[in-house]
Structure 1
Amino acid sequence: MKTPLYDLKVDAEINKELAEVGFTYIPKQADEDEHSIEMHLPYIAKVMEDFRDQFTIVPIMVGGLTPEKEEFYGEKLAKYLADPQNLFVISSDFCHWGERFRYTNYDESCGPIYKSIENLDRQGMSIIESLNPKEFTKYLKNCGNTICGRHPIGVLLQSISTLQARNYKMSLQFLKYDQSSKCRDFSDSSVSYASASLIFE
């Protein structure tokens, strides 16, 4: 895969393994329409620049999934997540708030709108840190938070759950949270961002 820095090599062997257990290749048009992978590959290339000829990548796009499908794919990815030679990058924004996103959930008891958004996001972050996929699904159903990568997060949580059943010990901690702007009025809009790290203990 091409980046402005250098080309990244896709791991054909692992792609084949995943195809054999239920992963599918996306149609060319869907691939061309989706831009998220293009946003991440240059950063991965930069971070890994000193090892440019020593690693491969396995890009996985996650669309709309049922909780059952999240569990299915999470189980299939668990062995790769457990391998210390592998690095997983799970991408998601958090709340997309505003009329243009058709989401204006607001709890007045939190104060200004941006504080309500943060409270909503931090509830979700806390559940993700608890590594409980069912609670995360319940949270999304109850509040409808517009976390665009909710399904990749769900797959990750299911993968972690699979490994926990095999006595792996892990912890996940959010490191930073921010918003693109501070919404104070219903004519405002913002997108939230959060970063976290998963550690095997």
Structure 2
Amino acid sequence: MGLTRRATHAGSWYSDSGNQLNKQLEGWLNAADLSHGPARAIIAPHAGYSYCGECAGFAYRQISPVVVRRIFILGPSHHVRLSGCALSTATTYRTPLYDLNIDQTIYQELEKTGQFDWMDMRTDENEHSIEMHLPYIAKVMENFKDEFTIIPILVGSLTPEKEAMYGQLLAPYLIDPQNLFIISSDFCHWGSRFRYTYYDRSCGAIHSSIENLDKMGMDIIETLNASEFTDYLKKYGNTICGRHPIGVLLQAAQSFKKNCNGQRLNLKFLKYAQSSQCCNMNDSSVSYASASLVLE
């Protein structure tokens, strides 16, 4: 009998009612177009659903549940400082819809590399970056609920060299069309409470400056150039909380390109939103963006 990680943010960050949650997710998915799929990877936010549920729907709409059998979820660590990546000690993750099973075979493969630590249950249950994706996964995969597994990976504060190393380790999994990668990230956290108040006055309003800053980063991510993304972060310090999971994806994509026999990866952002529009220096906001990576 394995350990089950509870849905600790249900009832606060999203509904703990299966029926209500199902209706909300269905509404957001139906409001989004299938325009850049079938996704091999998505980038989607991890805030409370009242803030980012609609935005996340644009990424999840691009998934082909008929194809997908293994789902890698890379989420940043918000509460514990890690210099590498960590795996869950649970075997099952609970959601208000149904439970999701962790792929123990792939966990064993990752553990054998010697590059992954284990997070204890307290760290796992305190963290929201992976959990906020689980209800969406459960909803999208509901017709195949007994036919897929998840591979949650908590990503620490990685150096560019470590991002490259993990990217190379995960690239073979990205090549397999039955695997889907979910990259958990919000974008700019702006305001004095986040200790980040970059403002380019030439953009006009503060919220326009934030959008311009985020879209600069999004444009670079679309090129799949890991080193340019690192340079952008160094230059502007944009508080993209999932920057390290994004960096790992970009490195995996670069490694993939060397072995893809002329096939091309194409990443495209589909939706951008802000929790509120900042107009003065006392305001604050968090930005959200959804993207899909396809193989052409």
Same fold flag (TM > 0.5): yes
Alignment match of 1:150 (pick from 217, 225, 243): 243
Deviation readout 1:155-187 (Å, 9 max, x if unpaired): 000000101122442010000111111101001
Long gaps (5+) in structure 2: 1-92
Give the partner amino acid of 1:12.
Answer: Q
Residues 185, 242 of structure 2: 8 Å contact kept: yes
Task: Provide the alpha-carbon RMSD of the alignment.
Answer: 1.0
Looking at structure 1, the residues matched to 224 and 171 of structure 2 have their Cα atoms a distance apart, in angstroms, of: 14
Aligned partner of 1:183 in structure 2 is: 278
Contact 2:130 2:184 in 1 (8 A): no
- Distance (whole Å) between structure 1 residues aligned to residue 246 and residue 201 of structure 2: 28
- Which residue is 1:79 aligned to? 172
Moved more, 124-133 or 30-39: 30-39
For 1:166, what is the secondary structure of its paired residue? coil
Deviations 1:83-117 (A, max 9, x none): 00011111100000001100000000000000000
**Residue identity in the other structure for 2:94:** K
Cα pair 2:129 2:185 within 8 Å, conserved: no
Kept in 1: contact 2:102–2:150 (CA 8 A): yes
Structure-2 separation of matches of 1:7 and 1:166: 35
CA distance in 2, matches of 1:25, 1:15: 10
- Residues in 2 aligned to 1:12 and 1:150: alpha-carbon distance in whole angstroms: 27
Residues 89-128 of structure 1: pairs in structure 2 closer than 5 A: 89-128=182-221
Residue equivalent to 2:161: 68
- TM-score, normalised on structure 1? 0.97
Percent identical: 65
Report deviation, 1:32.
2.9
Q: Figure out how many residues of one structure are paired with residues of the other and give that number.
A: 201
CA offsets 1:46-73 (integer angstroms, 9 cap, x no match): 1111110110111111111000000000
Quick one: which of 123, 128, 132 aligns to 2:225? Answer: 132
Whose RCO is larger (CA < 8 A, sep 6+)?
A: 2
Aligned pair 1:2/2:94, yes or no?
A: yes
Higher-strand-fraction structure: 2
CA offset at residue 28 of structure 1? Answer: 3.3
The residue type paired with residue 175 of structure 1 is L
Equivalents in 1 of 2:172, 2:117: separation in Å?
19
Contact 2:156 2:244 in 1 (8 A): yes
**Matched residues in 1 for 2:177 and 2:158: separation?**
27
Deviation at 1:33, TM superposition (A): 2.4
Using the size of structure 2 for normalisation, the TM-score is: 0.67
> How is 1:27-38 mapped onto 2 (pairs within 5 angstroms)?
27-38=120-131
Matches within 5 A, 1:37-76: 37-76=130-169
